[in-house]
Structure 1
C-alpha cells in the first residue's frame, strides 16, 4: 500500500513535465499507459491492502473490492480521454491539470477517512473547474463557475457534518458509527456533489458545454468521487443510508424522463449521468461494478460526439452516419441499455439482483434508458469514413465487452427489456418535447439545497 502511495506521488511530480510543450504529450501517454497497467494488475490480481500515514490520527488509505473498481474505471477513462485530448491544440497549463487529475483521483479512490475524503474531493472539484475553464469559451467558463460554487456549498455541508462527528467521537476514522444529525449533513453534501437529480443540476450545463474529452472525465470519473465516498461511508451511516437509496431511485427515473425528452446529444448524455448515478447508489454491494461500467460506456458516448455531424438529434436523424462510426455508437448505446455479454448487462444484473422494493421502479428506469438510446440504433447509415479517435474507441470497446467481468449468461430477460424499450420509444416519440430548464438555474439551487438538507436530516434523525 505504501508503494502505491509513493507511485502516485511520483505521478504528481511527473505531471510538472507537462509545462514543457515538447514533453507534454509523451508524458501524458506514458503516465496513462503505466497507470493502465497498474490498475489492471491490481484489479485482476485482487490486490488488497491498507495503511495509516503519520500515526493513529493520520491519513487512512485502503485498497479493497470497492477501490479496485474505481481505480480501474479511472485508468481506462483517463487514458481514453487523454488520447483524444492530446490530438487537439491545448496550452501546457491544460496538459498539466490533465496530468494532475490522474493521481489525485487515484488517491481519492483509496481514501479511507472522513477528512482525507474531503480534501481529495475538493482537489478534484478545483482541477475539474480549471480543466473546464481553460478553453476560454464563455459558456464553458460560466458553467464551470456554477459547478465550483454549488460543489463548494455541498462540501461545506459535508465538512460541517464531519466536524460534528469529530466533536462526538474524537476521530476522522471510519471505525465509529456516525450519529444521525452529522450523518444527515454528510449525506446531503455528498448527494449534491454526486450527480443526483434535482440537487446536481450544475452537471447538465457543464457536461454539455465542455469539450468531449472533459465531458468524459467529468461524467466518467469526477462525479464518482462523491459516489465512492457515499459507498465507503455506508457501513457507518447504515441507518441513514436508506435516504441515499430513495434519492437513487428518484434520480434514476427522473433522469431518463428528462433525457427522453431532450433533443441535444450531449444534454441527453448529461441527463443520463444523473440517472445512472441512481443505479450505483441503490446497491452498496454491487454499485462499484456499475460505477466501472458507467465510466466505460458514458465516456465512450461523450467522446463519440467528436464524430457526429450534428449534436441536434432531429438533424442527426436526417443526416447519414458512416456505418463504421455507427457500429461504435451502437455498441456504446447497447452497453448502457444492458445488451447481453456487455459490461452494462453484467453490472445491471448484479445491481438488480440485490434490490427488493426498488426493483420494479428500476426496471422502469431500464426501459426508459433503452428508449432514450433507441434513436441512435436506427440512424441512417452511409459509406465508411475516417474515424478521428479510433484508439480510444477500441480501448473502450474492449471494456464494453470485457472478458473478466462475471457474466451470468442471461439472455432472454435483457433482450426482452431492450425490445420493450425500443417499442416504447416508437410509441411515445411523437409526444416527446424538451422540458423546462428551470431547475438548472443557479438562483434555484439554494432553495433546493435547503430542501435536501431538511430531508436528509429529518430521515437521519428518525433512522
Structure 2
C-alpha cells in the first residue's frame, strides 16, 4: 500500500520539485512516465489488483485492477512519447510541470471507484488541460481554452448533483452503491443520467463531445497528442466501470457509441483541415470504445497510442490543408510512423489496432447483447478506413532526416504489440480486415470522384481540372461546434437520457 501511495503522489511531487528546480523537470517527467508505464505493465500481466481506502468508508477508494491497466499503460507511454518529443527543444513555460500534474490526475481517475474522488481527479485533469492549451497564449487558443473550461465545469456540476443524489438515497459515494437494493429505479435513472452527462462529455462522445474537434485542432501539437491520447480516456475508463456495475446500461451506451462513430465519420470525411479530421476521428473511436466493456480498455490503448503519434507528427507536416495533401511528399522519417499509426487505426493486419478491432467485432458478432446490428459496426470500421485512406494519400520522399523520437516510439509499440499478439493473424480475421480496408478504400475513391465531378460542373469547360484529391465529402453539414450548440446539446442529451432510463410505469402510469 505504501508503494501504491508513493506512486500516485510521485507525479505531483515531481511537479512541485520542478517548480523549485526547473532544470530537473525533464528528468522528473521522464521518471514519472516510466513509473506509470511500469505499473500499467505489471497490472496488464496479471498482477493481483491493489485496493486503497483512505479516511474511512466515505473517503477515497482506489482500485488498481485489470480494467485500469491498459489505461495506465496508455497514460505512461503517451506522456513518455511527449517528453521524448520535446527533449531536444525547450517547451514553453511550465509545460513539463503541467504534464506531470496531468499524468497524476489521470492515474487517479483511472483508479477511482468512489464518485467524489473521481470528480476531483477529473477536475484536476480539466484545469491542467486548460492551462496546457493556453501555453502559446494566442487569442483563438484563449477562447477555445475558456470554452473547454466552461463546458467541463458545467457538466461536472451536473455530475456532482448526481453524486449528491446517490448519497441521499444510499448513504454512500461508492460506484457500487448504484446497485444497492434500496435505490428506487426512478432515483437510479436520474442519478445515472446525471453521471452520464458528465462522463460522456469528458470522454468526448456523441453530442456531449462536440467540444472536442475544435479544441484538439487549435491546441499545440503536443497538447493535442495528450488530449486525444489520454485526456479523453479519463472519462472512458469510468464509463466502462459504470457499464460493468450496471450491465443493463450497456445497450444504451452501445447505441450512443455507435451514433458517435457514425456522426464523426460524416464530419471527418467532409473536413479539409488535418487536425480537425484527426479530432473528429477521436470522437468516433471513443464511441467504439463504449461498445464492449470487455474489449474497450485495450481498444482505447491501441487508439490512444496511434492518435498521439499522429498528432505529434501533425505539428511537423507543414500545411494542414488536405486539398493540397498529395502535392506535399513526406520525408520517410515522418511518413513511416504516419502510415503505421494510420493503418493501425484503420485496422490493418500485423498492427495492434487490427487485434483490438477483431476482438470488438467478435464480441459484437457473438450476440453478447452489446449491439442489435453488428453490421453497422462494419460500416463504421469501413468509414474509418475511408478517413485514413484520405490521410495516407500522400507520397513518401525517401531521403534521410532526423527521426522524431516520440512518434517513432509509439509507431514501434503499435507494430511490436501487434506482432506480439500473433505474428500470423488467423486467415478469417485477416480476410475480414482486408475486406473492410478494401471497402473503405472504395468508399473513399467513390466519394472523391463524386466531389471532383461536382466541382468540375461548377467550372467553365476551358479551365483545367483542379487537383483537390483527396476531396472532401460534398455534404452541407451543419456547424455543431458553437458554444450555444454545445450547451444545447448537453441539455438534449441529459433530457433524453432521463427519458430512456426512467421506468415505463413512471413515464406512463397505468
Superposed pair shares fold, TM > 0.5? yes
8 Å CA contact 2:40–2:70 kept in 1: the answer is: no
**Deviation at residue 45 of structure 1 after TM alignment:** 4.3
1:183-202 CA deviation, whole Å, 9 max, x = no partner? 11111221122111222111
RMSD of the alignment, in Å?
2.0
Contact 1:70 1:292 in 2 (8 A): yes
Which residue is 1:428 aligned to?
447
Comparing 449-458 with 22-31, greater Cα deviation is found at: 22-31
1:330 offset after TM fit, Å?
1.1
Residues 290 and 406 of structure 1, relative CA distance in 2, 3 Å threshold? farther
Which deviations, in whole Å up to 9, do the C-alpha atoms of 1:398-442 show, x marking residues without a partner?
A: 234315547863311101111111111111113224755621000
Q: Is structure 2 residue 6 aligned with structure 1 residue 6? A: yes
Q: 1:50 to 1:304 in 2, by over 3 A?
A: same
1:224·1:291 contact (CA, 8 Å) conserved in 2?
A: yes
Contact 1:183–1:237 under 8 Å retained in 2 = no
Separation in 1, partners of 2:422, 2:120: 34
Shift of the 311–295 alpha-carbon distance from structure 1 to 2, 3 Å rule, reads same
Residue 361 in structure 1 maps to residue 376 in structure 2: yes
- Aligned equivalent of 1:56: 57
> How many residue pairs align between the two structures?
463
- Assess if the C-alpha contact under 8 Å between 1:183 and 1:240 holds in 2: no
Offset of 1:380 from its aligned partner? 2.3
2:397 corresponds to which of 364, 376, 382: 382
Tell me which moved more, 357-366 or 70-79: 357-366
Which residue in 1 is equivalent to 2:175? Answer: 174
Q: Which residue of 2 aligns with 1:454?
A: 495
Higher alpha-carbon deviation: 173-182 or 370-379 = 173-182
Unmatched tracts of structure 2, length 5 or more: 180-187, 452-472, 505-510
Shift of 1:156: 1.4
Q: 1:308 to 1:387 in 2, by over 3 A?
A: farther
Counterparts of 1:242 and 1:369, CA distance in 2: 22
Greater gyration radius: 2
Contact 1:70/1:291 (<8 A) preserved: yes
Determine if contact 1:280/1:288 at 8 Å carries over to the other structure.
yes
Whole-Å separation in 2 of the counterparts to 1:406 and 1:108: 32
Cα drift, residue 203 of structure 1: 0.8
Tell me what 1:270 maps to.
279
| Structure 2 residue corresponding to 1:439, chosen from 465, 480, 485 | 480
What SS class does the counterpart of residue 57 from structure 2 fall into?
A: coil
Deviation digits for residues 6-61 of structure 1 (CA, Å, limit 9, x no counterpart): 22213311222222332222222232233333332332343412121122222111
In 2, Cα distance between the equivalents of 1:454 and 1:385?
A: 56
Unaligned runs of 5+ in 1: none
Equivalent in the alignment of 1:75:
76
Contact persistence 2:211–2:481 (CA under 8 A): yes
> What aligned pairs does 1:154-169 form with structure 2 within 5 A after superposition?
154-169=155-170
Q: Distance in 2 between matches of 1:166 and 1:424?
A: 50
Which residue does 2:293 correspond to in 1?
284
Which TM-score applies when normalising by structure 1? 0.95
1:112 deviates by 1.1
Q: Which stretch shows the higher mean deviation, 78-87 or 274-283?
A: 78-87
Map 1:279-428 to 2 at 5 A: 279-355=288-364, 356=367, 357-402=372-417, 403-405=419-421, 409=426, 410-428=429-447
CA shift, 1:307, in A, is: 2.8
Higher relative contact order (CA 8 A, sep 6+): 1
Task: State the TM-score, normalizing by the size of structure 2.
Answer: 0.86
- Offset of 1:171 from its aligned partner? 0.3
Residue 391 of structure 1: how far off its partner (Å): 4.7
TM superposition shift of 1:382: 2.0
**CA–CA separation in structure 2 for the residues paired with 1:139 and 1:127:** 18
CA 445–395 in structure 1, closer or farther in 2 if over 3 Å, else same:
closer
Secondary structure of 1:371's aligned partner: helix
Preserved CA contact (<8 Å) 2:313 2:338: yes
CA distance in 1, matches of 2:275, 2:24: 32
Q: For the structure 1 residues 436 and 379, does the alpha-carbon distance in structure 2 shift closer, same or farther, using more than 3 Å as the test? A: same
Q: Which residue of 2 aligns with 1:102?
A: 103
Q: Give the Cα separation in 1 of the matches to 2:253 and 2:31.
A: 39
Between stretches 247-256 and 6-15, larger displacement belongs to 6-15
